Chain A
Amino acid sequence: MSGQSGLLAAGLDGKRLDDIEVVDVHQHYGRCFQFNMPHRDAADLLAEMDRIGIDKSIVSSFRALAGDPVPGNQEVLEVCRQHPDRFRMYFVVNPHYASRLDQLFAPFRESPFLAGLKIHAEIHQCPLASDAYRWAWRTAAELHCPALVHIYPPRDLEAVPVLADEYPDTNFLIAHHFGPENLDRALPLIEDKRNVHVDTCISALPLGTMERLVAELGPERVLFGTDMPYLNAGGQVGKVLLAQLDDETKKKILAGNAKRLFQHRL
């Protein structure tokens, strides 16, 4: 292992990332119904962030995703208020509440903790191309806040480049980089869409995926996310640190790209 990069060595040792900035663009708060999830309150998220060296996270509410979006979005806003240096939030856009979105969003619109909008086309069972999401694409462009989008493949794959062209001022951040099984189809579709980015979080990583994302999208369009507490944060940071990439690229993925994309909202 001689000659290994500093960040590779840090990952192999499980060393806390004190010397670099780390921003997690895909995190959650609360309880997910799908499996038992130990330790999921804000104190636990912070403890895990501190142990790894994650400086700041952008969080969306499980309750807002899978339950009532009104108290769900509100609870994450409260978490941000309690920890203003560590958390920012995504406002979860529930397309089934499309007619009320302006009203529901009003308390968040001017909040200094709002970083972006969260779309989950799979949980909400609503095609990405639906009119119910048009409010989200317009608002993301108007407020310069990116939309973190969990697509429902394969149905939504073709919709992403179409929306990217239709809303050139909207930044789309595709959760889980479309899913590894969809990369062959998805990456050519967004190769020239500079307003489409991907995050890194995924439960199982085919060998070479990180290197492929950087090679095909460039080092500026890949952003670090953990999906914590849905996924294990150590594994998610490990995939960046242990990738066969140079340290400058890893730093862009871990923080630089997020700071550029979210700008003042971080």
Chain B
Amino acid sequence: MEFFDANCRIGSGVRTAPAGIACAGRLLETMDAFGIDRALVHGTEAATYDPVTGNEALMLEVGGCGRLVPSWVAPAPDARGPLPPTSFVEDALTAGVRALRVFPGPGQYNYPLSPWVCGDLLSAMAAHRMPLLFEALARPWDEIHALARSYPELPLVCLRPKFLEARIIYALLDSLPSFHFTFSYFAVHRCIEDICHRYGPERLLFDTGLPEFSPAIPIGMLMYAGIGDEKKAQIAHGNLDRLLEGVR
């Protein structure tokens, strides 16, 4: 099975990298050990210190390695900042970056994902169909719902929602066609089968959370799921490929 991991990070930050996986070489070794072909990665410092610094470090680290696909962290909204959101999106696209990640939560960059705060960024991303990745724990669900309604063209990828949030996730899938999520922490009994049955396989993305988390649980969940190989391949890599290829 070809795996394309939607959720990896690379580089050292305020803490040393888990399991010593701070550089591209070590991340690739770990991916090899679990049979993971490619990974969408963001820079550790981009998440915890400064997006511009971290994004630059990310690009240096991944270099021309085709297996590590960079995703930039969008800067927090700041009217006096040096880079207008529209320029940032254009710069990202020029650099070959086709997905942006945000860290708006408490203890992160501290802002709501609302049109009146970061509408310029969200509008620019929506215009390009550029996927927005966010951690499940970082945002109130009402805010995500309103965001999806305001920007229906913006593909949303919720990373690692917890299994205890299953009722919320099902409601979001019911009402938001642009909502996708990764299932590595969504450890519900037979959830992959159930979601494929209700919604089709298109809304599920494979991720690991490397280097913090082991890929073993999501790989086991997918490979032992009672769905056909075609659906497994869609989830393992096809859906993320489709979202990235849909950027225009």
Contact = CB atoms under 8 A, between A and B. Distances in A.
Interface string A196-210: 000000011111111
Contact of B210 (A51, A207, A241): A207
B216 A39 contact: no
A229 B191 CA distance: 10
A51 B224 contact: yes
Nearest to B217: A235
A231 B18 contact: no
A206 B18 CA distance: 9
Interface string A14-28: 100000000000000
Interface string A219-235: 00000000011111111
A243 B219 CA distance: 12
Interface residues of B, number: 45
Contact of B215 (A38, A237, A242): A242
Nearest to B226: A51
Contacts of A210: 214, 216
B88 interface: no
A203 B185 contact: yes
B221 interface: yes
B35 interface: yes
B242 interface: no
B107 interface: no
B56 interface: no
A11 interface: yes
A234 to B, nearest CB: 3
Contacts of B18: 206-207
Contacts of A36: 166-167, 170, 188
Contacts of A205: 213-214, 216-217
B82 interface: no
B151 interface: no
B207 to A, nearest CB: 12
Interface in A220-266: 228-239, 241-244
B111 to A, nearest CB: 27
A153 B25 CA distance: 37
B218 to A, nearest CB: 7
B189 A52 contact: no
B189 A37 contact: yes
B32 interface: yes
B216 A232 contact: no
Contacts of A244: 33
Contact of A14 (B166, B187, B218, B223): B223
Given A35-B166, A51-B224, A244-B33, A228 B187 contact: no
A13 interface: yes
Nearest to B33: A244
Nearest to A10: B223
A40 interface: yes
B109 interface: no
A48 interface: yes
From B185, B189, B216, B217, name the one whose CB has the most chain A CB atoms within 10 angstroms: B189
Interface stretch (B93-101, B115-123, B157-165): B157-165
A208 B190 CA distance: 25
B153 interface: no
A206 B213 contact: yes
Interface of A: 1, 11-14, 34-40, 44, 48, 51-52, 203-210, 228-239, 241-244
Interface of B: 1, 18-19, 21, 30, 32-35, 160, 162-167, 170, 184-185, 187-194, 209-226
Given A203-B162, A204-B160, A244-B33, 5 more contacts: A38-B189, A48-B190, A52-B224, A238-B219, A238-B220
